[in-house]
């Protein structure tokens, strides 16, 4: 071997090894980017709004033209509330971009300008939320963009666009996947006793936000978010976040805990303002006209979810229609539902009777109450418990148990409301309780 070969071969092998090693490095192990270089003017030839307009909901469309969009990342996956996703916004709208890249926020953090070469990428949607991905998967779903394919061009870090200040009722499809702020809002009172999500069980929560104009929107938080186990704020103020859409309904996601600026006073309004209270002299209700699995809707009766979302429903069993409440398969961590009679005029002493039954017992979830100041919201009325016989663990499933005569004479001269209250949760307290043949005479 010549001297030249002896010295050149080790060098060649070392260089070849370095090349192979560097070409196999996944971008997730690369160094975090610097502030980057500003994107050149004119790099984009279409807008995000125009790109999204090419999509038909429920379809997957491979882009075959040399389209380029550019925008600023307004939400990333740093907190865990998004997964391998960032939200890109320009002056016309926003879109979710899905990546096959763990910790994509290291490369595409909030405030980074990004241009995307769309030729070869795919437009799709997740339950009506439009997304930009990399390919059509074997199961006909949208696959993510590979992190090293060259479709994404990183620009400089810059200021975020100012959030659009608006009300829930002003939301349109153009606001989806953009940065917005809602002022004068708060979580509904019944949702302030929980956490934003369930971190230990990695379960997402849908919680309700209201404003002082009686508008509402769902705040959805992933169980993987690093703020999942934070308590829901009890005050009022503003919320900044990214609106999404799920099966036609708008919802809101926040990027971090300080997007919730809710340390002020709550809205002060009467949730029952304008409610016309129905008052009757007697009640004789067997629910026979109810439709199986429909929410209970009887004249003058109130059907209300104080916690959770499930209401009392009609059920049909063995030819008999009755009403039922249960936490089984409820999405919310706690459930409290009320079925309340019309106002009953106790101009003379009267007696209450009804039948109750249970099934799949796990807990004593049913109780019966009386109020003289109920209007429409059981959580703001004053209630006293009524002593009565209810179906219990020892009773057979589906067996109807008479309540006995419940003397209401102590309330003579008043208008009263009888409330059937069910409480439970979606994990262990899931008994089903039924009510039928409610009579006050």
| pLDDT score, position 150 | 87
Per-residue b/e over 95-123, b at no fewer than 16 CB within 10 Å?
bbbbbbbeebbbbbbbbbbbbbbbeebbb
| pLDDT score, position 302 | 94
Specify the pTM.
Answer: 0.60
- List the pLDDT tens digit at each of the 441 positions of the chain: 433 333 333 333 333 333 333 333 333 333 444 567 899 999 999 999 999 999 999 999 999 999 999 999 999 999 999 999 999 999 999 999 999 988 899 999 999 999 999 999 999 999 999 999 999 999 999 999 986 678 999 999 999 999 999 999 999 999 999 999 999 999 998 899 899 999 999 999 999 999 988 789 999 999 999 999 999 999 999 999 999 999 999 999 999 999 999 999 998 766 677 788 899 999 999 999 999 999 999 999 999 999 888 899 999 988 999 999 999 887 778 899 999 999 999 999 999 999 999 999 999 999 999 999 999 889 889 999 999 999 999 999 999 999 999 999 999 999 999 999 999 998 889 899 999 999 999
Torsion of CA 44, 45, 46, 47, to 10 degrees: 30
| pLDDT score, position 271 | 67
Q: Alpha-carbon distance 270 to 351, whole Å?
A: 32
| pLDDT score, position 30 | 39
Between the CA of residue 373 and those of 126, 362, 381, 420, what are the distances in Å? 46, 32, 6, 16
Q: Which domains does the chain have, with CATH numbers?
A: 32-157 (2.40.50.140), 164-264 (2.40.50), 279-440 (2.60.120.200)
Q: Look at strands 180-187 and 164-166 and give their pairing.
A: parallel
Q: Where are the beta strands (DSSP E) in 127-230?
A: 129-133, 135-136, 142-143, 145-146, 152-157, 164-166, 180-187, 205-211, 216-221
| pLDDT score, position 356 | 98
Half-sphere exposure of 259 (CA within 13 A, CB side): 25
Per-residue b/e over 2-25, b at no fewer than 16 CB within 10 Å?
eeeeeeeeeeeeeeeeeeeeeeee
| pLDDT score, position 35 | 62
Kindly write down the DSSP assignment for every residue of 416-429, as one continuous string: EEEEEEEEE-SSS-
């Amino acid at each position: 071997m010549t001297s030249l070969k002896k010295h050149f071969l080790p060098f060649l092998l070392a260089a070849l090894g370095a090349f192979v090693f560097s070409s196999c490095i996944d971008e997730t192990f690369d160094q975090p980017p610097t502030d980057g270089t500003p994107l050149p003017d004119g790099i984009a030839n279409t807008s995000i709004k125009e790109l999204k307009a090419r999509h038909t909901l429920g379809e997957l469309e491979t882009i075959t033209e040399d389209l380029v969009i550019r925008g600023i990342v307004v939400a990333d996956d740093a907190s865990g509330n998004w997964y391998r996703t960032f939200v890109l916004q320009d002056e016309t709208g926003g879109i979710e971009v899905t990546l096959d890249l763990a910790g994509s926020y290291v490369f595409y953090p909030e405030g980074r300008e990004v241009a995307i070469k769309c030729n070869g990428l795919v437009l799709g949607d997740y339950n009506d939320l439009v997304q930009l991905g990399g390919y059509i998967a074997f199961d006909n779903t949208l696959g993510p963009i590979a992190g090293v394919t060259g479709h994404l061009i990183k620009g400089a870090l810059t200021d975020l666009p100012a959030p659009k200040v608006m009300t829930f009722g002003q939301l349109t499809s153009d606001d989806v996947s953009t940065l917005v702020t809602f002022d004068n809002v708060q979580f509904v009172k019944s949702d302030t006793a929980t956490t934003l999500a369930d971190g230990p069980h990695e379960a997402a929560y849908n919680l309700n936000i209201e404003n002082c104009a009686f508008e509402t929107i769902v705040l959805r938080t992933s169980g993987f978010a690093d703020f999942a186990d934070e308590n829901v704020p009890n005050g009022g103020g503003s919320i900044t976040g990214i609106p999404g859409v799920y099966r036609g309904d708008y919802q809101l996601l926040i990027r971090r805990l300080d997007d919730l600026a809710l340390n002020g006073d709550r809205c002060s309004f009467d949730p029952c303002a304008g409610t016309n209270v129905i008052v009757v002299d007697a009640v004789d209700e067997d629910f026979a006209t109810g439709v199986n699995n429909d929410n209970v809707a009887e004249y003058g009766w109130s059907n209300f979810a104080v916690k959770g979302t499930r209401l009392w429903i009609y059920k049909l069993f063995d030819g008999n229609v009755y009403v039922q409440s249960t936490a089984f398969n409820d999405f919310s961590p706690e459930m409290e539902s009320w079925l309340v009679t019309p106002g009953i005029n106790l101009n003379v002493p009267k007696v209450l009777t009804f039948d109750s039954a249970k099934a799949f017992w796990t807990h004593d979830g049913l109780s019966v109450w009386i109020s003289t100041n109920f209007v429409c919201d059981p959580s703001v009325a004053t209630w006293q418990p009524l002593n009565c016989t209810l179906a219990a663990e020892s009773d057979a499933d589906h067996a109807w148990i008479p309540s006995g005569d419940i003397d209401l004479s102590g309330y003579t001269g008043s208008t009263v409301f009888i409330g059937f209250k069910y409480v439970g949760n979606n994990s262990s307290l899931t008994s089903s309780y039924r009510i039928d043949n409610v009579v006050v005479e």
